[in-house]
Amino acid sequence: MSDVIVLAEHFDSEVKKVTLELVTAARSLGSPVVLWLGAGCTDSVVETMGSFGASQVLVADSDAVRNHPVAPGAEIVAELIGSMSPAAVLVASSADGKEIAARAAIKSGSGIITDAVEIAADGTVTQSVFGGSTIVHSKVTHGTPIITVRPNAIPATQAPTTATKTDITPAVSEAAQKVTITNRAVVEKGARPELAEAEIVVSGGRGVGGAEGFGVIEQLADSLNGAVGASRAATDAGWYPHQFQVGQTGKTVSPQLYIANGISGAIQHRAGMQTSKVVVVVNKDPEAPIFELADYGVVGDLFSVVPQLTQEISSRK
Amino acid sequence: MKIAVCVKQVPDTWAEKKLRSDDSRLDREAADGVLNELDEYAVEQALQITEALGGEVVIVTMGPERAAETLRKAISMGADAGIHLVDDHLAGSDAIATSAALAKALEGRGFDLILFGSESTDARMSVIPAMIAERLDLPQVTFAQKVDVSGTTLTAERVTDYGYDVLTTELPAVVSVVEKINEPRYPSFKGIMAAKKKPVETLTVGDLGLEASVVGAAAAWSAVADFAARPPKAAGVVVTDEGNGGTKIAEYLTSQKFI
Ligand SMILES: Cc1cc2nc3c(=O)[nH]c(=O)nc-3n(C[C@H](O)[C@H](O)[C@H](O)COP(=O)(O)OP(=O)(O)OC[C@H]3O[C@@H](n4cnc5c(N)ncnc54)[C@H](O)[C@@H]3O)c2cc1C
Ligand SMILES: Cc1cc2nc3c(=O)[nH]c(=O)nc-3n(C[C@H](O)[C@H](O)[C@H](O)COP(=O)(O)OP(=O)(O)OC[C@H]3O[C@@H](n4cnc5c(N)ncnc54)[C@H](O)[C@@H]3O)c2cc1C
């Protein structure tokens, strides 16, 4: 069976859920081989990869990989494509993931497809484009298929095996080290699930009225074990950190449930949440375009509807 | 400072976007073409840099005949010149071919900075800047929310999932910007009039020194097999809050097994 390279998405030793989704998707194409760039690949990480069906974990960790963005990773991926002739390379649709995929595609003479939501055993990729209104099936026809996969699209399932861990010491060229990371600003993440990975997202917009107003949004999110999101109007006003912006220029989310509170539904906001499975809306304006997406909507003041909802959820648990 | 800004013509943000049934390509006739709104931030950044340090801003686009309007629109913000890659052989290019053509057009012109938006609003791949950096062997500083140029050193903040990274490199470099970086100006009347007289160079595949066989649909390294409109969602239920709106949602969530 051919190998399928899976580029692990992680933050130090914290494995992003999408990595397990990638390993799951890779199983239908061949034998998943995880490539781990940088630090943090502990034994328990290797074990987790094995439990989702990875046969090997290749660790590429060096100063070159840690201190320079994108280019070193692309070089290593391209080198492995050359030496392993994998059936495909699967990467997360994150900023780094897409760019590593893009450069590795050029280096290896391969086609690239981004934002897959499904991958069939014959390599046919399903994309959901134009805000989810159109479903496209496509295939890479040249080189090694390089496919970036949207988080939360392919459910991760276990397929226990034992993964071996191999340190590969990649030589990274000078050319790939032209950009240096001199500082890393990390925003406190908190205890809530990660926005892009969450099954449930509760968002607030300009209607929340201020930073304090996000208290009711957070309480609702916590009652559902969900993540908190925000519209750009709310992040730009400084009511909630930018990392939580949902939309064209924020995060793209596709949770099982998205609850939009005090958000009008601008096209740029929709671009980031339109593929959510179930959408619930609370907005006091019955004409707000966000209602077009609603599976269930309440026209009303979020400051009375949302706390009541939180209370109901807590009492029903 | 000589700066190139790559801009793309995309269907109007609010228009319904469709693929054509005969060749699965974006139906660009079905909607007005506009300047990709994220590229406005790249043009603004270029203008701010040349206003501070002196220099020239050249707008570069690849697209059909009518993309010329978009090129003029970007120039009217205050740029100095334009380059338009226009050739029927380019139609249907994938990202690989698009980057090949753009790289050829940018190469050897002495640009200190090549600026991009962070993604197009139609295909949304976010790959072209990285591909250009790869092809031209230039440092890549993408998803920048802040850019400073001092001498030949570029410092920027790259937005990440967890916050941002501070990056430094030496010019020349490829940079893509996110919308947090600035507030794009509206073209002034003077700018619009002046843009009509700014030089625009049009380039064909032949001018670029590329074989027609390496660009366009036939050369694409990925192919669309088929596509379909997603069946429209069944209309949802919308109720007016009469003091029990929260309870009603809770009932709905229970029926959907979220609670
Ligand atoms: C729905 C859809 C899905 C597609 N999927 C794929 C796919 O999976 N694989 C593939 O190889 N191709 C795909 N394509 C083709 C791809 O859109 C084009 O090749 C496109 O030119 C590059 O991708 P992008 O628009 O996403 O650019 P991005 O990488 O998102 O654009 C980033 C920046 O690059 C610059 N830029 C982009 N295009 C141009 C241009 N023509 N002229 C000047 N500057 C430009 C702009 O500054 C822009 O902000 C798809 C097209 C559509 C419509
Ligand atoms: C280049 C570009 C990129 C962008 N990217 C993004 C992006 O990534 N994400 C994003 O979200 N936006 C983005 N935007 C901005 C987008 O166009 C909208 O401006 C923004 O989404 C509006 O946010 P909002 O819905 O919270 O605010 P508004 O449009 O002001 O809507 C507020 C809503 O709250 C309702 N409301 C007010 N008070 C209450 C109350 N007490 N109870 C219930 N409802 C109430 C109102 O009826 C209204 O519908 C972008 C714009 C541009 C130009």
- A32-70 pLDDT, tens digit per residue, is 999 999 999 999 999 999 999 999 999 999 999 999 999
Average pLDDT, chain A: 96
Percentage, residues of chain A above pLDDT 90: 92
Q: Assign A127 a pLDDT band (cuts: 50, 70, 90).
A: very high
Who wins on pLDDT, A7 or A128? A7
pLDDT recorded at residue A113: 98
Nearest chain B Cα to A188, which residue?
Answer: B162
Q: Which two tokens stand for residue B51?
A: 């206003």
Q: At what angle do helices B245-255 and A302-316 cross, to 10 degrees?
A: 40
Predicted TM-score (pTM) of this structure: 0.95
B17 phi/psi in degrees, rounded to 5:
-95, 140
DSSP result, B198-259: S-EEEE-HHHHT--GGGSSGGG-SEEEEEEEEPPPPPP-EEEE-SS-HHHHHHHHHHHTT--
pLDDT digits (tens, 9 = 90+) for A215-232: 999 999 999 999 999 999
Which residues does a 6 A CB cutoff place in the pocket of ligand 1? A 112-114, 129; B 6-8, 26, 36, 38-39, 42, 60-63, 93-96, 98, 102, 116-117, 119-120, 122-129, 222
The closest of A243, A311, A174, A267 to B124, measured between CA atoms, is A267
- B256: which residues sit within 8 A by CB, 6+ positions away? A257, A278
**Residues 133-192 in B contacting A (C-alpha not used; CB under 8 Å):** 133-135, 137-143, 157-170, 173, 178-180
Nearest-atom index, ligand 2, CA of A264: 49
For chain A, where do the domains classified as CATH 3.40.50.1220 start and end?
195-316
Flag whether B65 is in a domain: yes
Nearest-CA distance from A214 to chain B in Å?
17
Q: Which two tokens stand for residue B255?
A: 């029926």
DSSP code of A212? T
Cβ–Cβ under 8 Å, residues A33 and A84: yes
Ligand 2 pocket residue status of A177, Cβ below 6 Å:
no
CATH number at residue B162: 3.40.50.620
pLDDT recorded at residue B32: 84
Positive or negative CA dihedral for A63, B135, A32, A14?
positive
Nearest-atom index, ligand 2, CA of A233: 23
DSSP result, A53-98: T-SEEEEE--HHHHHS-SHHHHHHHHHHHHHH--SEEEEESSHHHH
Flag whether B88 is in a domain: yes
Amino acid present at B3: I
Confirm or reject contact between B204 and chain A (CB < 8 A). Answer: no
Flag whether B132 is in a domain: yes
**What residue owns the CA closest to ligand 1's atom 51?**
B123
Is the pLDDT assigned to residue B213 strictly greater than 90? Answer: no
Count of the separate structural domains present in chain B? 1
Integer Cα distance of B58 and B85 in angstroms: 13
Tell me how many residue pairs between chain A and chain B have CB atoms under 8 A apart.
Answer: 263
pLDDT digits (tens, 9 = 90+) for B82-105: 999 999 999 999 999 999 999 999
Tell me the C-alpha to C-alpha distance, in Å, between residue A155 and each of A163, A197, A199. Answer: 21, 11, 11
Does domain A195-316 fall under CATH 3.40.50.1220? My reply is yes
Percentage, residues of chain B above pLDDT 90: 84
Integer Cα distance of A250 and A230 in angstroms: 9
Looking at all shown ligands, the one closest to residue B122's CA atom is 1
- A232: which residues sit within 8 A by CB, 6+ positions away? A245, A247, A249, A250, A268, A269
The closest of A247, A223, A205 to A308, measured between CA atoms, is A223
Integer Cα distance of A282 and A307 in angstroms: 12
Q: Are strands B222-229 and A134-140 parallel, antiparallel or unpaired?
A: antiparallel
3-state secondary structure A5-44: EEECCEECCEECHHHHHHHHHHHCCCEEEEEEECCCCCHH
pLDDT recorded at residue B126: 97
Integer Cα distance of B124 and A124 in angstroms: 20
Confirm or reject contact between B245 and chain A (CB < 8 A). Answer: yes
CATH class, domain A3-177, is alpha beta
Query: Across the interface, do A112 and B95 touch by the CB < 8 Å criterion?
Result: yes
3-state secondary structure B88-103: HHHCCCCHHHHHHHHH
H or E, element range at B146 = strand B140-150
pLDDT digits (tens, 9 = 90+) for A240-276: 999 999 999 999 999 999 999 999 999 999 999 998 9
Ligand 2 pocket residue status of A268, Cβ below 6 Å:
yes
DSSP code of B190? H
Looking at all shown ligands, the one closest to residue A298's CA atom is 2
Q: Find the Cα–Cα–Cα–Cα dihedral B77, B82, B87, B89, rounded to 10°.
A: -90
Cβ–Cβ under 8 Å, residues A89 and A74: no
Ligand 2 pocket residue status of A288, Cβ below 6 Å:
yes
Cβ–Cβ under 8 Å, residues B123 and B36: no
Radius of gyration of chain A (CA): 21
Flag whether B247 is in a domain: no
The closest of A33, A156, A160 to A88, measured between CA atoms, is A33
Spacing, Cα B10 to ligand 1 middle (Å)? 10
State the burial class of residue A203 (Cβ atoms within 10 Å of its Cβ: 0-12, 13-18, 19+): buried
pLDDT digits (tens, 9 = 90+) for A87-109: 999 999 999 999 999 999 999 99
Is the pLDDT assigned to residue A317 strictly greater than 90? Answer: no
pLDDT digits (tens, 9 = 90+) for A72-90: 999 999 999 999 999 999 9
Confirm or reject contact between A278 and chain B (CB < 8 A). Answer: yes
The closest of B161, B169, B122 to B143, measured between CA atoms, is B161
Confirm or reject contact between A136 and chain B (CB < 8 A). Answer: yes
Domain enclosing residue B141, as ranges: 2-219
Cβ–Cβ under 8 Å, residues A201 and A226: yes
Partners of residue B142 in chain A, C-beta under 8 Å: 70, 95, 99
Nearest chain B Cα to A144, which residue?
Answer: B221
Flag whether B146 is in a domain: yes
Which of B10, B222, B248, B251 has the most A C-beta neighbours within 10 Å, making it the best mutation to test the interface with A? B222
Q: Which two tokens stand for residue A260?
A: 């939009």
For chain A, where do the domains classified as CATH 3.40.50.620 start and end?
3-177
Q: Assign A316 a pLDDT band (cuts: 50, 70, 90).
A: confident
Give the residue carrying structure tokens 């290749």. A58
Choose the weakest-confidence range: A126-135, A153-162, A291-300, B125-134: A126-135
Mean pLDDT along residues A12-20: 96
Nearest-CA distance from B173 to chain A in Å?
9
Q: Which two tokens stand for residue B35?
A: 């300047």
Nearest-CA distance from A307 to chain B in Å?
7
Mean pLDDT along residues B118-129: 96
pLDDT recorded at residue B255: 96
Q: Give the total residue count for chain B.
A: 259
Query: Across the interface, do A291 and B124 touch by the CB < 8 Å criterion?
Result: no
Ligand 2 pocket residue status of A229, Cβ below 6 Å:
no
Flag whether B151 is in a domain: yes
pLDDT recorded at residue B234: 82
Q: Assign B161 a pLDDT band (cuts: 50, 70, 90).
A: confident
Is the pLDDT assigned to residue A133 strictly greater than 90? Answer: no
Q: Assign B24 a pLDDT band (cuts: 50, 70, 90).
A: confident
The closest of B48, B60, B160 to B103, measured between CA atoms, is B60
**Residues 27-86 in A contacting B (C-alpha not used; CB under 8 Å):** 69-71, 74
Query: Across the interface, do A133 and B19 touch by the CB < 8 Å criterion?
Result: no
Nearest-CA distance from A300 to chain B in Å?
5
Query: Across the interface, do A98 and B238 touch by the CB < 8 Å criterion?
Result: no
Flag whether B250 is in a domain: no
Nearest-CA distance from B15 to chain A in Å?
10
Reduced to 3 states (helix: H, G, I; strand: E, B; else coil), residue A135 is strand
Q: At what angle do helices A17-27 and A43-51 cross, to 10 degrees?
A: 40
Flag whether B150 is in a domain: yes
